[in-house]
Amino acid sequence: MRIIKLAVFLPQKKHENDHGSIYFPLSNRIPNQEIHKLLGLIHSDRRFEVTEISSFEQLIIVNGDIFYENINLNHLDIFFWYGEIGRGNGIYSLEVLKALSRKVKVIPNPYSFEVGLDKYFSHMALKEKGVNVPDLVLLSSKNVHLVEPILEEWGYGLLKPRKGGFGKGVTLINSFPMLRDMIEYMESFNVVGACEGILLERYYKNNLSDFVSTTIVDGKIMYGYCKRLSKVTDLGNGYQKIYDCNEIGGEVDLCEVLPAHEKQALLASDALGLEIIGFDMIWHEGKPIIIDENTFPGMYLDLFQQQNISLSEKIYNLILRNSPLESIVSNLEENLEVGLLNKNS
């Protein structure tokens, strides 16, 4: 029997009712009970030889090989990870995952994950594939003047943190002087460097009652959800935004995913190539526009239950589908089909 060598990184909360920020590095992004179910499925499957990694600090890269204790992880078949690992530049955890992915199937794909983390890179990846995303500008603090005619054409812009942040820092810009002064103010506190790219998006008028978020696993939409009014705040000039000052998520309800939403979300998922992903969409002039890419989409157990979907089974099947056994079965089926065609011809 072919043994699948698998390692997993699945950090768990010490207490399931711990409502600390889910944005904190190395925190879990899958509910504890689903992690337990997933590990149960994996450990009960005799085809898997499993190594559980509790911290990336236990791993070291030596000449391109990644070692955990005396185990060379480059000899793995699959490495599955899912947890907040930080969002700054040069994060060690992400460097480990990228190095490992050169020899091992890593899920989620760390290179796609890195693109998805950055709102500018992810928007551009989607735009190149024909997905509906906002018009956008990347500028620096030294060339703000070049944006004046663009902003004049748009009417309103949104200044956005490139790495996201639960709506924090998303600022409505209603004039060029406001943009100029905002960036110069940030520069005076060294919040933004002279060489740093600043993201400005076009603002599209929309009604947040039409706002839809999706959670996608392995290329399939699990559900659509909307935020409750408790997560909505004023943006200025009579407009609103989704805002989570405590960074804990939640307070959502299941909502309808229209065919137009589904088309954009699946096209975007394919463009990023990330096995687990989510998208936030507004509705503007008869079509959905993706305004945010979520590398850690909402994993809400009550919504999974309402859809009669098991999250642990979905992830287990995702791992299995990317295993060497799946490739072997696919090749056998393909060879059998070719053999039958040749025989019939």
Domain range annotation of the chain: 4-111, 135-203, 204-310
CA dihedral for 52, 58, 62, 64, sign (positive or negative) = positive
- 324-344 vs 311-321: helix crossing angle, rounded to 10: 60
pLDDT in tens, 101-160: 999 999 999 999 999 999 999 999 999 999 999 999 999 999 999 999 999 999 999 999
The residue type found at 235 is L
pLDDT at 194: 58
pLDDT at 36: 96
The domain 4-111: what is its CATH number?
3.40.50
pLDDT at 326: 60
pLDDT in tens, 203-251: 999 999 999 999 999 999 999 999 999 999 999 999 999 999 887 788 8
Establish whether domains 4-111 and 135-203 are of one fold: no
Reported confidence tier of residue 89, pLDDT bands at 50, 70, 90 = confident
The domain 204-310: what is its CATH number?
3.30.470.20
Residue 332 scores a pLDDT above 50: no
49-77: average pLDDT: 95
**How far is the C-alpha of 202 from the C-alpha of 172, rounded, in Å?**
10
pLDDT at 191: 73
Reported confidence tier of residue 344, pLDDT bands at 50, 70, 90 = low
329-334: average pLDDT: 48
pLDDT at 212: 98
Reported confidence tier of residue 22, pLDDT bands at 50, 70, 90 = very low
pLDDT at 187: 87
CATH top class, domain 135-203: alpha beta
**How far is the C-alpha of 150 from the C-alpha of 157, rounded, in Å?**
10
**How far is the C-alpha of 223 from the C-alpha of 228, rounded, in Å?**
16
Residue 163 and residue 118 in contact, taking contact as beta carbons nearer than 8 Å: yes
State CA 336 to chain mean position distance.
Answer: 38
pLDDT at 131: 98
Residue 290 scores a pLDDT above 80: yes
Residue 289 and residue 132 in contact, taking contact as beta carbons nearer than 8 Å: yes
Higher-pLDDT residue of 142, 342:
142
